[in-house]
Amino acid sequence: MINRTLAPEFGQIENIQLIEATPFKLDNGLKTFIIDGGEQDLIRIEFVFSNINWDPNFPLQAFAANTLLNDGTSEFSAAQIADRIDYYGAFLQTEYNYDQATVTLYTLNKHLAVTLPIVKAVITDSIFPQVEIDTFILNQKQKLSVNLEKNDFVGRKVFNEALFGKTLYGYDITAKDYDQLDRKQLTEYFKNAYQPGNCTIILSGKVSDKTLNEINSYFGKDWQKGGSVTGNAFNFNAQAGKEQYVEKADALQSAIRIGQIAITRTHEDFPGFQVLNTIFGGYFGSRLMANIREDKGYTYGIGSALVSLKHGGYFFIASEVGAEVTNSTLEEIQKEINILKNERVSEAELDLVRNYMLGSMLGSLENALSHADKFKNIY
């Protein structure tokens, strides 16, 4: 019988087995990566498009186009798309971030012949019905109005603009920006962005030759390059040393966000910075948590993170604390920064964090789909 009073024996993680991404090209030259693994007859197909042609006069076109893709083609309504995908036990979703827009299909391999035509229609024939655009604008404006009452949202918005200015990463979205969206603009962006010359396919799960042939038949033959693709490029002029306070009457809490422009994952020091960040505020046992949550009781949670984007990166510290301890929290954060700058990290703490990070990585790579998630982050 197992003695439950004894902790499991401690062990070092010596090696992590990775599933390599195998490059492949469809007949039309479309870049494809295959991450093959697993016994279940399941596949995830991700169509990853770079966000292009960013215009500060129309800052929401990439986000709106991606969100509205599923809302109608010349053949299917939004309800018909959802019903047909659901009928086969599949799942179709769109995702948007600063640099990429993704269309993802989860399905059984045996249903590819009936689900792929729907996905192709969404990617090549979306028509952006006006009624769906109007609903999107209304919902997003309401969501923005609610978020502007939240301290952490306002803090993040002000912080990003201070770092990145009026660029894609820092632009302060307003209700007026939603009102400027129109169908013609979205259709033009869709034509330019959602084309094979701006797309990468990532296949993960059980990938067979039959699977590749089916995907190639739908996306490697008559899907050809469309309009012009102009990649986004930005120059950032961060407001160095700038302190900003946004007053909110009767607020019981303060949202704190501190940070600066930092290196991206392409820099040789990025792995070391990740270790440093984990020690400082990157996990529950971090120094910030031990001091400001566990010892002082100023907050339920505080952390730091290193964010790597395509055109720049940044480091930040974030928390929400009681309004009456805002200044004390800032002092303790500065105290921990000074300790980290001036005192050598002990081998015991370094080993603890190293093992935590290895364990977290191992836990996040349990199947082919999670390997694909990691690959997409660094691709």
Question: What residue ranges do the domains of the chain occupy?
Answer: 22-233, 253-343
Q: How far apart are alpha carbons 4 and 210 in whole angstroms?
A: 49
How do 100-108 and 42-50 pair as beta strands?
Answer: antiparallel
Is the pLDDT at 238 greater than 70? The verdict is no
Check whether 224 has a pLDDT greater than 70: yes
Q: What pLDDT does 284 receive?
A: 95
Among residues 202, 220, 201, 193, the alpha carbon closest in space to that of 29 is found at 220
Q: If we measure between CA atoms, which residue out of 296, 323, 303 comes closest to residue 257?
A: 303
Going by pLDDT thresholds of 50, 70 and 90, the confidence category of residue 15 is confident
% the chain with pLDDT above 70: 97
Contact yes or no for 45/94 (Cβ under 8 A): no
> Residue 160 is encoded by which pair of tokens?
């990003």
Q: Please give the backbone phi and psi of residue 178, each rounded to the nearest 5 degrees, phi first.
A: -70, -40
Q: What angle do CA 28, 33, 38 make, to 5 degrees?
A: 135
Rounded distance between C-alpha atoms, residue 236 and residue 311, angstroms: 9
pLDDT, residue 88, reads 97
pLDDT of residue 191 exceeding 90: yes
Q: What average pLDDT does the segment 10-16 reach?
A: 76
pLDDT digits (tens, 9 = 90+) for 197-219: 999 999 999 999 999 999 999 99
Q: Each residue of 123-151: pLDDT tens digit?
A: 999 999 999 999 999 999 999 999 999 99
Name the 3-class secondary structure at 72: strand
For tokens 């040789």, the residue is 268
Percent of the chain whose pLDDT exceeds 90: 82
Looking at the domain 253-343, which fold is it? Cytochrome Bc1 Complex; Chain A, domain 1 (3.30.830)
pLDDT band at 8 (very low <50, low <70, confident <90, very high): confident
Total residue count of the chain as it appears in this document: 379
Q: From edge to edge, which strands make up the β-sheet containing 253-262?
A: 253-262, 313-322, 302-308
Q: Are 70 and 78 in contact (CB under 8 A)?
A: yes
Same fold, 22-233 and 253-343: yes
Neighbours of 122 (CB within 10 A): 23
Q: Name the band, by pLDDT with cuts 50, 70 and 90, for residue 240.
A: low
- pLDDT the model gives residue 307: 96
Would you place residue 38 in the very low, low, confident or very high pLDDT band (cuts 50, 70, 90)?
confident
pLDDT band, residue 227 (cuts 50/70/90): low
**Is pLDDT of 379 > 90?**
no
C-beta pairs of 274-279 under 8 Å, 24+ apart in sequence: 274/306, 274/357, 275/350, 275/353, 275/354, 275/357, 276/340, 277/304, 277/305, 277/306, 277/315, 278/353, 278/356, 278/357, 279/340, 279/345, 279/349, 279/350, 279/353
Residue 315 scores a pLDDT above 80: yes
CATH topology classification for 22-233: Cytochrome Bc1 Complex; Chain A, domain 1 (3.30.830)
Averaged confidence pLDDT in the chain: 93
**Amino acid 357: pLDDT:** 95
pLDDT at 16 over 90: no
pLDDT of residue 293: 96
